[in-house]
Amino acid sequence: MRLPLDAAVAATGATLLDEDRAPASLRVGTDTRSLESGDTFLALRGERFDGHDFAGEAVRRGAAMLVVDDAAARIPGVATLVVARTDRAYLQLARVAAQMFDGPIVAITGSSGKTTTKDFLAELCRVRYRVAASIKNENNEIGVGKLLLSLSNEEHDVAIVEMGARHYGDIAVLVEAALPAIGILTNVADAHVEIMGSRERLAETKWALFGSGARAVLNANDEVSRKRAPSLRHPEGTRWFVAVPGTAQLAAYADLEPLAAVAGDDLLVVREGGATQEFAIACAFPGLHNRANLAAAIAAAGALRIAPEELVAAIARLALPQGRYDRITIESGLRLIFDAYNANASGMIAALDAFASEDAARKIAVLASMAELGEEAQTLHERVGEHAAAAVDVLLVSGDFAAALARGARRAGLDASRIVPVEDNSQAAAWLRANANGQDLVLLKGSRKYRMEEIVEELQP
């Protein structure tokens, strides 16, 4: 999106230097490697870099304007916007782009399932629309700003923005930039409780998704969503989604409409305007939690006026993003399920539920610990361990809270001889190499900080 110069100056409160050399409109970028001639380079600061150090490089690559918060970084003779903070200016410029975009912007947040729901929705929307969507899980201020500034009314009809939060209030900042028309809240669970400070602050952070008046798409199984829905600015416009094992469970949601429900793995039920429709579908991925993500995408597609019958063929093409329940077969024949992109308690339990339904001689789970759970860490790890006891034949535990995982599993009846503490990924790989075979199935699940992909790498010949 090219931003008018006057709108950019007004949005950022910038001081414009060398005005006579300034372009009439700005195409903003933050990476000198992808700049095109005439672009505007905005100098962001990161933990390991300072974009101000690359101002000269940006000009050599054709940048017509700079955006800096350190006037000393300006290049003589180059038009420059001097702002208070470039990180804030980036989102202020992104907001201008969002306001200029003619199509609806859909924002997605939640404790888990954001990237999967985003990918599903993008694929479903492509049956009718030209879609711009967040890349992978670029869901912080930089990722959201990057997507919004890349929008084009000539190339895109719909924008789908994933929003992540690690600190209290993060979502409100992103919503102020994106101004979404539709907001999907996948769930409010236990992720980042330690950093957020409390479950209530976590819920407040997520609920800020609707702060600009976005129409809500909510999880019928999410306690926070059910409780807070009446407080929405437009509660009558709420769309609900749910995944259930079978149609018998749908009676529990009779009071919610419109509702998109995935029942089992082969039936879509849509209830709207007093009418109920059913469609046979094919889901090529396991897990009730993943079918809930699908239901969320279907509900949002309905908000974008895509009829459910248009979605059936596209649903069959959907696949989980990389790192989510990836099936890997080692050359030795050992079969793995790698689901260690990240982990919180609800996600661990959902993965164990999916794993429990797998067909194998033995189900072996390697569970690393979870992170950022604060005072609830021991309790939540014990709860996951208890759940694992009913889902697996052998349990390997590692990480800071391995003892709590083991304690929960023993309490739930898993014999101590089938619980194996391991010190690190190398020890886990060594145990699997010595004790598991091609008739077994192994689940790898844990927080990203434990780098469980190292187990896969060590098992490869």
Phi, psi dihedrals of residue 61, rounded to the nearest 5°: -90, 5
pLDDT number for residue 197: 61
Q: What integer is the mean pLDDT of 225-244?
A: 95
At 189 the pLDDT is: 79
Mean pLDDT to the nearest integer, 347-363: 95
Q: Using one digit for the tens of pLDDT, what is the confidence trace for 262-291? A: 999 999 999 999 999 999 999 989 999 999
Kindly state the average pLDDT of the residues 396-409: 97
| The pLDDT of residue 386 | 97
Q: State the pLDDT confidence band at 461, using cuts at 50, 70 and 90.
A: confident
* pLDDT surpasses 90 at 323: no
pLDDT attached to residue 46: 86
Per-residue pLDDT at 2 exceeds 70: yes
Helix (H, G, I), strand (E, B) or coil at 429: helix
Domains of the chain as residue ranges with CATH? 3-84 (3.40.1390.10), 101-317 (3.40.1190.10), 326-459 (3.90.190.20)
- How far, in Å, CA of 398 to CA of 407, rounded? 13
Please name the residues in contact with 56: beta carbons below 8 A apart, sequence gap of 6 or more.
75
pLDDT in tens, 188-203: 976 556 566 677 888 9
Residue 366 has a pLDDT of 98
Chain centre distance of CA 456: 24
When pLDDT is averaged across residues 206-231 and rounded to a whole number, the result is: 96
Tell me, what's the pLDDT at 192? 54
CA distances from 369 to 315, 404, 424 (A): 33, 9, 11
pLDDT at 374: 81
H or E, element range at 203: helix 199-207
Contact between 449 and 421 under an 8 Å Cβ cutoff? The reply is no
Number of C-beta neighbours around residue 136 at 10 A: 13
Q: Rounded to whole angstroms, how far apart are CA atoms 243 and 326?
A: 21
pLDDT at 205: 94
Burial 355-378 (b: 16+ CB within 10 A, else e): beeeeeeebbbbbbbbbbbeeebe
> Residue 51 has what pLDDT?
95
pLDDT digits (tens, 9 = 90+) for 55-94: 999 999 999 999 999 999 999 999 999 999 999 999 999 9
Q: How far is CA 421 from the centre of its chain?
A: 31
> Which tokens go with 454?
């190292």
Mean pLDDT (whole number) for 329-355: 92
Q: What is the reported pLDDT for 193?
A: 61
- Using CA atoms of 18, 20, 25, 28 in order, give the dihedral in degrees to the nearest 10: -20
With b for 16 or more beta-carbon neighbours within 10 A and e for fewer, the 441-454 pattern comes to bbbbbbbeebebbb
User: 366 by DSSP, 3-state: which?
Assistant: strand
Across all residues in the chain, what is the average pLDDT?
95
Distance CA 290, CA 270 (A): 18
136-180 pLDDT tens trace? 889 999 999 999 999 999 999 999 999 998 889 999 999 999 999
* Virtual torsion, Cα 164, 170, 172, 177, nearest 10 deg: -70
In whole angstroms, what is the distance from residue 150 CA to residue 457 CA? 36
- Over residues 280-306, the mean pLDDT reads 96
**pLDDT of amino acid 195:** 60
What tokens does 350 get?
């959902």
Confidence of residue 312 (pLDDT cuts 50, 70, 90): very high
pLDDT of residue 373: 84
State the pLDDT at residue 231. 94
**CA separation for the pair 143, 46 (Å, rounded):** 13
Q: Which two tokens stand for residue 272?
A: 């709207």
For the four alpha carbons of 141, 145, 148 and 151, in that order, the dihedral sign comes to negative
pLDDT value of residue 376: 85
User: ∠ CA 203-118-130 to the nearest 5 degrees?
Assistant: 135
Q: What's at 57, amino acid-wise?
A: E
Average pLDDT over residues 436-461: 95
> Rounded to the nearest 5 degrees, what angle is found at the Cα of 139, between the Cα atoms of 137 and 145?
130
Residues in the chain: 461
pLDDT at 196: 64
